[in-house]
Amino acid sequence: MKNGGAAQQFSIKDLEHFTGVKAHTIRVWEQRYELLDPKRTSTNIRHYSGEDLKKLLNVRFLMENGFKISKIAEMKGADLISQVDRTQESQGLQSSIFHSLKLSMLHYDEALYRSVVDAYSEEHGLDRTVLDVFLPFLAQIGVLWLTNSICPAQEHFISNLMRQSLQAGVDRLSVHSDEDQAVVVLFLPERETHDISLLFVHYLCILNGYQSIFLGANVPFEDLLNVAAQFPQAKFVSYCTTHPSPSNAQDYVQKVERQFVGSSNEFYLGGRMFDGIKSTTNVKLAKDGGSLVGLLFS
């Protein structure tokens, strides 16, 4: 994928990765239906515009909702977009939202993001917006990232908008501090930087009357020992995306057990890398954000 000044250029492999439509199928649709009109380099290599990618995303969306490619190919310009809008209104809300967020991320469209997220939050609240929209969509971003279908700037763009929404929710809450409050310490292990899920837990902790100490990303293990010395009854909470790796997750759990043996501190660790590992005396494990919240507030 190339940015090449103001206009983005995509290879046919980029289109395949981002939309899930095979490169061979894209070529067939070009030949049979003239669905896309790629430009060619001086060496006769196809390249596609952002509008081509947007159109193919819309085509894939309609096909997932029962439309035949022959029928879609007859739709021109505004007719295609109108049909997408009508289909979104008639089918599941979450799929419609994900489609809009993907377009927002692709085109760096903050206005589209805010219109979608604000509407959902107004109806369902910030907590349901995070559980129903943010966390599942971030999981989709992870798949796109692994297949090199999005560039870092696009991931940073949408992640930072979500972070802003969460921080605004935290800022609206009243924070109190007294000796009777239960203390929760929120942290991410060293080399872990994805803090949106942790920020959500921070929001829920304050909402539920906890004293929430947000340490943030990339916290050295020794620092946890220092904080525990000051707050011997505290619950330590982390939600991991990339670190520790799945192969090192068991070792990390055992390290917590060794270092905090005999203490009154409890650890609540969430993330896919902990799936299949058994919880221990003072380390509770969850494979996803919803399960982690359930453990913490049960």
What per-residue confidence (pLDDT) applies to 194? 83
Token pair recorded at residue 185: 């310490």
Whether residue 104 lies inside any domain: the answer is: yes
Q: Identify whether the C-beta of residue 54 lies closer than 8 Å to the C-beta of residue 103.
A: yes
Q: Which of 117, 152, 172 is the last residue of a domain?
A: 172
What per-residue confidence (pLDDT) applies to 94? 67
Asked whether the CA dihedral 61, 65, 69, 75 is positive or negative, the reply is negative
Q: Identify whether the C-beta of residue 221 lies closer than 8 Å to the C-beta of residue 191.
A: no
Q: 277 Cβ partners below 8 Å, 6+ apart?
A: 249, 250, 253, 285
Token pair recorded at residue 18: 């981002």
The domain in which residue 232 lies consists of 175-296
What per-residue confidence (pLDDT) applies to 297? 85
Q: pLDDT tens digits for the chain (298 residues)? A: 555 444 568 888 888 877 778 899 999 999 999 999 898 888 888 889 888 888 888 898 788 888 999 999 999 888 888 887 777 666 555 677 888 898 899 889 999 999 999 999 999 999 889 888 887 787 666 545 434 456 778 888 999 999 999 999 999 998 877 777 899 999 999 988 888 889 999 999 998 899 999 999 999 999 999 999 999 999 999 998 878 887 788 999 999 999 998 899 999 999 888 988 999 888 999 988 778 888 888 7
What per-residue confidence (pLDDT) applies to 225? 95
Q: Which of 172, 198, 218 is the last residue of a domain?
A: 172
Q: Which of 145, 172, 199 is the last residue of a domain?
A: 172
What torsion do the CA atoms of 64, 69, 75, 76 make, to the nearest 10 degrees?
A: 100
Q: Identify whether the C-beta of residue 19 lies closer than 8 Å to the C-beta of residue 57.
A: yes
The structural domain count of the chain equals 3
CATH for 143: 1.10.1240.10
CA distances from 105 to 13, 59, 171, 201, 278 (A): 19, 18, 25, 24, 37
Same domain as 284, residue 180: yes
Q: 250 Cβ partners below 8 Å, 6+ apart?
A: 277
Q: Identify whether the C-beta of residue 286 lies closer than 8 Å to the C-beta of residue 269.
A: yes
What per-residue confidence (pLDDT) applies to 112? 95
pTM of the model: 0.64
